[in-house]
Chains A and B, each alone.
Chain A
Amino acid sequence: MFQITIEKDLLILEGRFDASREAYALEMFDRVSETATVDFATLEYISSSGLGVLLATQKRLKESGSELKLINLTDHIRDIFHYAGFDLIFSIADR
């Protein structure tokens, strides 16, 4: 189960973001056209497929001077972002 809820400039991720939900996630993130915050508080898991969706969105937004800002990453997900070097290309905050 994976769900994305969009509330203005906030995207709330919930559940397991695996490869089976990549198409859905791309469709949802494609709706973002300006700087937005992504809340990871209720995200249990993310694989490279999910990282790819975030990277594609960040690359697209950066071209127009916007970006995704990430908040509330759990420890395990924060670890994966660190290993992947994503902490160098995303702004990550506790809130």
Chain B
Amino acid sequence: MASVSASFPRTMESLEHINLLIDAFAHTAELDARTVFAVNLAVEELFTNSVKYVKNNHNPVSISLVRDKDVLVITLIDTDVDRFDIRMREPYNFKKKIEERRVGGLGIPLIHKLMDEVDYHYENRRSIITLRKNLENTYVSDHH
């Protein structure tokens, strides 16, 4: 089993350090390049949501990455935040014409596309987002 965890200041500048953490983990956990790209993208989308939409909160954001056999688990914990459930009730339409598309809002649908499971738990103003990716599967899950 390979695992890393760290907490990061709630600023966009943290993305560079998060990338370094993911690179180090990817090496230890022997992730392929496609998986590393997906992990980078999923973690960035989660973290930037914490930066952009949580105001007046100076708590760091905790990120952990675990590979246990063929399952990769990404966890992001954010404290003193409002509830924001990232699980999707309806499939996102990626086929919209350009005139019908709005800029933004693509991050969470892409997380669902790249990961096999997306869980959300909220208690005592603490949000825990857990993403799971089966490394035996193809890159993209078919059910999103």
Contact indicator B34/A55 (Cβ below 8 Å): no
Contact indicator A19/B12 (Cβ below 8 Å): yes
Please measure, in the bound complex, the distance between the C-alpha atom of A13 and the C-alpha atom of B139, giving whole angstroms: 25
User: Is B45 close to A, CB under 8 A?
Assistant: yes
Contact indicator A48/B107 (Cβ below 8 Å): yes
- Other-chain contact of B44, A19, A52, A75 (Cβ < 8 Å): A19
Number of interface residues of B (CB under 8 A): 29
- Could you say which residues of chain A place their CB within 8 Å of the CB of B140? 79, 83
Please measure, in the bound complex, the distance between the C-alpha atom of A88 and the C-alpha atom of B99, giving whole angstroms: 12
Contact indicator A20/B98 (Cβ below 8 Å): no
Contact indicator B97/A89 (Cβ below 8 Å): yes
Contact indicator A84/B106 (Cβ below 8 Å): yes
User: Is B96 close to A, CB under 8 A?
Assistant: yes
- Could you say which residues of chain B place their CB within 8 Å of the CB of A80? 37, 41, 110
Contact indicator A18/B98 (Cβ below 8 Å): no
Please measure, in the bound complex, the distance between the C-alpha atom of A76 and the C-alpha atom of B94, giving whole angstroms: 18
Contact indicator A47/B107 (Cβ below 8 Å): yes
Please measure, in the bound complex, the distance between the C-alpha atom of A62 and the C-alpha atom of B19, giving whole angstroms: 34
Contact indicator B94/A83 (Cβ below 8 Å): yes
| B36 to A: closest C-beta gap in Å | 9
Contact indicator A85/B107 (Cβ below 8 Å): no
Please measure, in the bound complex, the distance between the C-alpha atom of A62 and the C-alpha atom of B139, giving whole angstroms: 32
Q: 1/0 per position for A35-67, CB-CB distance to B under 8 A?
A: 000000000010111011001101100100000
- Could you say which residues of chain A place their CB within 8 Å of the CB of B110? 48, 80, 83-84
When A19-B15, A20-B15, A20-B16 are in contact, do A47 and B44 touch as well, CB less than 8 Å? yes
User: Is A69 close to B, CB under 8 A?
Assistant: no
Q: Which chain A residues (1-56) contact chain B, with CB distance < 8 Å?
A: 16, 18-20, 45, 47-49, 51-52, 55-56
When A76-B33, A85-B94 are in contact, do A48 and B12 touch as well, CB less than 8 Å? no
Contact indicator B139/A85 (Cβ below 8 Å): no
Q: Which chain B residues (22-64) contact chain A, with CB distance < 8 Å?
A: 33-34, 37, 40-41, 44-45, 48, 51
Contact indicator A48/B45 (Cβ below 8 Å): yes
User: Is B13 close to A, CB under 8 A?
Assistant: yes
A-B residue pairs, 10 tightest by C-beta: A85-B94, A20-B12, A48-B107, A48-B106, A76-B37, A89-B98, A19-B48, A56-B103, A47-B44, A20-B15
